[in-house]
Each structure stands twice: as C-alpha cells, then as structure tokens.
Amino acid sequence: MNVNNKCLRCDKAGLKSWEELNDEEREVVKRLPSDYSLEERKRSHRWCTRCWFEDGLDRITGFA
C-alpha cells in the first residue's frame, strides 16, 4: 500500500481502509470497477474519498 497514506492521483492525504470508511463510502466502493473480489479489497486495499483512487497491496509487492 501507499506507505505515506497519500493518494497517488489527487495527492490528498488520508487514504482509508475498509474499516475507516463510513456506510455511504462503502457503498461507493462496492460499485467501483475492480479485478479483485470485495473480500480481498476489504482486506488489503485503501481508497481516496476525494477521487476514489484505489490503492492495493499488490502494487508495492508485485502480487496480484
């Protein structure tokens, strides 16, 4: 994941994990297109609530 917790698209600080998202934000995430299952995304991804960039663990580690 983005270690400095900053969005790579819009540069906003504060990417949020699934647990940090409120109910409305979780509904948005569920509707975003993704190649990953929702369970995997909940476990290892973070989202920018300004532009909805999704940052996943595989981007840093190389694992898909």
pTM: 0.81
Please check whether residue 38 lies inside any domain of the structure.
yes
Please check whether residue 1 lies inside any domain of the structure.
no
Please check whether residue 24 lies inside any domain of the structure.
yes
Structure tokens at 59: 């981007």
Please say if the pLDDT value at position 58 is more than 70.
no
Please check whether residue 11 lies inside any domain of the structure.
no
**Domains of the chain: total:** 1
pLDDT at 57: 73
Please say if the pLDDT value at position 12 is more than 80.
yes
pLDDT at 16: 96
Q: Average pLDDT for residues 36-59, to the nearest whole number?
A: 92
Q: Average pLDDT of the chain?
A: 88
Domain, as residue range, for 52: 16-61
Please check whether residue 43 lies inside any domain of the structure.
yes
Structure tokens at 7: 């969005």
Please say if the pLDDT value at position 47 is more than 60.
yes
